[in-house]
């Protein structure tokens, strides 16, 4: 394995042919050196400007995508936590969360500034994340400059690949703690490479300090620390000595931010609850298959993920063949492979957002490999960048191709968020303030939720089904008289006991997924009196225009106040008797099973929930 400083790499390595290729010249005689350099610089300027134009249009698509992309369930969890903190609730003690407090505190501050009682506030959260993405992109650009200071357009090329990746489009615009953590991670990498390039040991302290701040976002910061450790080990191999001063300085820097978080939570009185949810419950999760994890990346990102894998293994092949590889690429390669291995083996679950740190280092290697391959396929006669001058039709055609291709890869043109916001605001009109709503994703945001677990993620539902969570959902719904249930896909996967309780004590409404406390008493022509058990107390409506209702031998008012208990009812009317805390105009059908089948025919089946209403 050979390494070379990137400061001299482009002038001493055959890769410098890339620059001559960009200029449309190869094997120039020495007498034409001055003119070749001038042409080369001219072409490099056009290459840089062309890439900047493409990046600009990509950012425009990200703006549209950021405001129009369907909301993930975790985004509602993040926003609900921020809103509740702004309203005085204590994180971890009164609300469950398995992430760090940073994003929740930021969203709480945002909501205090804009206390908007509407789900349109979700777009403010998306705007905040878009600003976070811009900050990450700026830091990433500076990081690419540290990797190859002599290259005039390597940073632009790396930024282009980062934005082109489907993984970035999938997760980098969502309201989740992984995005501020990714900003912190990129900042730490930038300072680390500046410390490495300058050989200034104190810079490693600031890099460690930044990385420690990532613990405020997620426990995944432990993995990032391991990735930096892989770079230190690689650096020691290259330097053939123990880098104990940089390593110790970096390690000391990582301590301060987590210590500050612990002191902050201890002052609030929620340190013990934080330890349980942030550390213990994250460590005690079922592990998914390595095989599935490895192939999820190209599955989510057919173009970007496949090229990313190819680039990493192509660079690794050059290392094993002992070919010359720039020193900083070796460091990035070690970091990238560590992040890929931990994603497959160490993380218990595998989601798109968990690939973002891996993407930040991998796309830098990808840009370098692209330049190597470009050297092989580019010729003087068919010089690409020489022709892609800003203002020419070539660039316009390239921009059009980029917009069309990313429309398919990123689906940035598909506006789904508005429909979901309007639907969620419609729930606020049906559910009175102060009423409890039982759901799995934290909707609606501005109504009370009956459980400590405001968002029922996969791990919580698994513990609920195997009776290790220590909570009886039906009993709590009964005890708190929860009158509304949002029967989303998470609620439907909570187990047979929860499903049976909802079917028995709630009735579907004509609003998607919403059920209200209610009873269906089947028509019994040969039985005059029937017994009805009420588990959810409240005012119950019934259809007075179609018959007459007697409870305990007395005519019932409409609505009728019913507490918990058993009632003897007599129904004089056609069809089944329906009792519901919602008025009849909101009912979905004449009986529970028939109404549920109707909802399924209209496209609200459990299997479709995550693809229609909850995305």
For residue range 321-334, what is the model confidence (pLDDT) as tens digits?
A: 999 899 999 999 99
Q: What is the mean pLDDT of residues 26-33?
A: 43
Q: pLDDT value at position 331?
A: 97
Query: What does the domain layout of the chain look like in residue ranges?
Result: 2-409, 418-609
Q: Distance between alpha carbon 605 and the CA centroid of its chain, in Å?
A: 24
Whether the predicted pLDDT of 34 surpasses 50: no
Whether the predicted pLDDT of 167 surpasses 60: yes
Q: What is the mean pLDDT of residues 162-175?
A: 96
Between CA 205 and CA 254 the distance in angstroms is 8
Q: What is the mean pLDDT of residues 276-304?
A: 81
93 within 8 A of 133, measured Cβ to Cβ? no
Between CA 226 and CA 52 the distance in angstroms is 34
Length of the chain, in residues:
615
Q: Distance between alpha carbon 438 and the CA centroid of its chain, in Å?
A: 23
Q: What is the mean pLDDT of residues 183-206?
A: 96
Which candidate, 144, 208, 136, places its Cα nearest to that of 178? 136
Q: For a pLDDT cut of 90, what percent of the chain falls above it?
A: 66
DSSP track, 390-422: TTSHHHHHHHHHHHHHHHHHT-TT---HHHHHH
Neighbours of 524 (CB within 10 A): 12
Dihedral (CA of 29, 31, 32, 37) sign: positive
Packing angle, helices 73-86 and 121-147, rounded to 10 = 110
Whether the predicted pLDDT of 56 surpasses 80: yes
Q: Please state, rounded to an integer, the average pLDDT across all residues of the chain.
A: 85
The DSSP letter of residue 503 is: H
Whether the predicted pLDDT of 22 surpasses 50: no
Dihedral (CA of 510, 511, 513, 518) sign: negative
As a three-state string, the secondary structure of 139-186 is HHHHHHHHHCCCCCCHHHHHHHHHHHCHHHHHHCCCCCCHHHHHHHHH
Q: pLDDT value at position 530?
A: 85
Q: pLDDT value at position 125?
A: 97
Q: For a pLDDT cut of 70, what percent of the chain falls above it?
A: 83
pLDDT digits (tens, 9 = 90+) for 437-487: 999 999 999 999 999 999 999 989 999 999 999 899 999 999 999 999 999
pLDDT digits (tens, 9 = 90+) for 115-151: 989 999 999 999 999 999 999 999 999 999 999 987 7
The DSSP letter of residue 279 is: I
423 within 8 A of 613, measured Cβ to Cβ? yes
Q: Which residues contact 507 (CB under 8 A, 6 or more apart)?
A: 515, 516, 517, 518, 519, 520, 578, 579, 580, 582, 587, 588, 592, 595
Whether the predicted pLDDT of 176 surpasses 80: yes
pLDDT digits (tens, 9 = 90+) for 526-578: 467 888 999 999 999 997 666 788 998 899 998 999 999 999 998 887 778 88
Q: Kindly report the pTM of this predicted structure.
A: 0.86
Element (H, E) at 484: strand 484-486
Between CA 81 and CA 129 the distance in angstroms is 16
Q: pLDDT value at position 544?
A: 64
Collapsing DSSP to helix, strand or coil, 343 comes out as: helix
Q: pLDDT value at position 350?
A: 83
Distances (CA, A) of 253 to 26, 189, 236, 248: 49, 14, 20, 9
Collapsing DSSP to helix, strand or coil, 550 comes out as: strand
Q: What is the mean pLDDT of residues 599-608?
A: 37
Token duo for residue 253? 């820097």
Q: pLDDT value at position 511?
A: 83
Q: pLDDT value at position 101?
A: 97
pLDDT digits (tens, 9 = 90+) for 221-238: 999 999 999 999 999 999
């Amino acid at each position: 394995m050979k390494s070379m400083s990137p400061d001299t790499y482009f002038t001493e390595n055959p890769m410098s042919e890339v620059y001559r290729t960009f200029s449309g010249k190869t094997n120039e005689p020495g007498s034409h050196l001055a003119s070749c350099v001038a042409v080369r610089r001219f072409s490099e300027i056009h290459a840089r400007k062309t890439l900047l134009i493409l990046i600009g249009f990509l950012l425009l698509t990200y703006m549209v995508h950021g405001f129009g992309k369907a909301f993930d369930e975790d985004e509602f969890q993040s926003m609900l936590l921020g809103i509740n903190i702004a309203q005085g609730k204590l994180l971890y003690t009164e609300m469950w969360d398995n992430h760090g407090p940073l994003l929740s505190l930021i969203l709480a501050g945002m909501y205090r500034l804009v206390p908007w009682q509407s789900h349109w506030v979700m777009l403010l959260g998306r705007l905040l994340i878009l600003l976070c993405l811009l900050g990450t992109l700026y830091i990433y650009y500076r990081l690419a400059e540290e990797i190859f200071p002599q290259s005039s357009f390597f940073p632009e090329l790396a930024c282009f690949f980062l934005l082109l990746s489907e993984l970035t489009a999938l997760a980098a615009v969502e309201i989740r703690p992984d995005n501020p953590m990714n900003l912190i991670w990129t900042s730490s990498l930038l300072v680390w490479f500046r410390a490495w390039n300058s050989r200034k040991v104190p810079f490693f302290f600031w890099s460690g300090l930044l990385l420690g701040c990532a613990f405020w976002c997620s426990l995944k910061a432990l993995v990032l620390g391991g990735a930096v450790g892989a770079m230190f080990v690689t650096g020691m191999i290259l330097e053939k000595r123990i880098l104990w001063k940089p390593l110790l300085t970096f390690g000391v820097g990582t301590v301060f931010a987590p210590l500050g978080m612990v002191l902050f939570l201890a002052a609030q009185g929620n340190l013990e609850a934080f330890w349980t949810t942030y550390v213990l419950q994250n460590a005690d999760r079922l592990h998914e298959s390595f095989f599935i994890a490895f192939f999820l990346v190209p599955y989510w990102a057919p173009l970007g993920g496949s090229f990313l894998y190819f680039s990493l293994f192509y660079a690794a092949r050059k290392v094993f063949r002992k070919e010359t590889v720039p020193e900083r690429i070796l460091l990035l390669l070690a970091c990238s492979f560590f992040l890929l291995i931990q994603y497959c083996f160490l993380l218990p679950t595998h989601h798109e957002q968990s690939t973002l740190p891996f993407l930040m280092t991998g796309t830098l290697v990808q840009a370098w490999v692209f330049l190597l391959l470009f050297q092989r396929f580019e010729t003087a006669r068919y010089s690409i960048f020489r022709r892609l001058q800003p203002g020419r039709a070539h660039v316009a055609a390239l921009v059009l191709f980029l917009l069309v291709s990313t429309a398919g890869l990123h689906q940035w043109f598909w506006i789904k968020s508005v429909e979901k916001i309007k639907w969620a605001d419609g729930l606020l009109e049906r559910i009175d303030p102060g009423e409890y709503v039982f759901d799995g994703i934290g909707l609606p945001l501005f109504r009370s939720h009956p459980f400590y677990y405001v968002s029922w993620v996969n791990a919580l539902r698994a513990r609920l089904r195997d009776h290790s969570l220590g909570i009886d959902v039906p009993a709590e719904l009964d005890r708190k008289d929860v009158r509304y249930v949002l029967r989303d896909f998470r609620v439907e996967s909570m187990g047979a006991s929860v499903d049976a309780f909802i079917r028995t004590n709630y009735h579907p409404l004509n609003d998607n997924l919403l059920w209200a406390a209610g009873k269906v008493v089947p028509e019994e022509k040969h039985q005059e009196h029937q017994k009805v058990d009420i588990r959810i107390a409240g005012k119950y409506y019934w259809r007075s225009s179609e018959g007459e209702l007697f409870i305990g031998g007395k005519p019932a008012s409409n609505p009728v106040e019913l507490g918990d208990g058993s009632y003897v009812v007599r129904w004089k009317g056609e069809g089944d008797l329906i009792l519901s805390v919602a008025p009849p105009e909101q009912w979905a059908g004449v009986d529970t099973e028939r109404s549920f089948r109707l909802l399924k025919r209209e496209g609200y089946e459990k299997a479709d929930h995550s693809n229609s209403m909850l995305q």
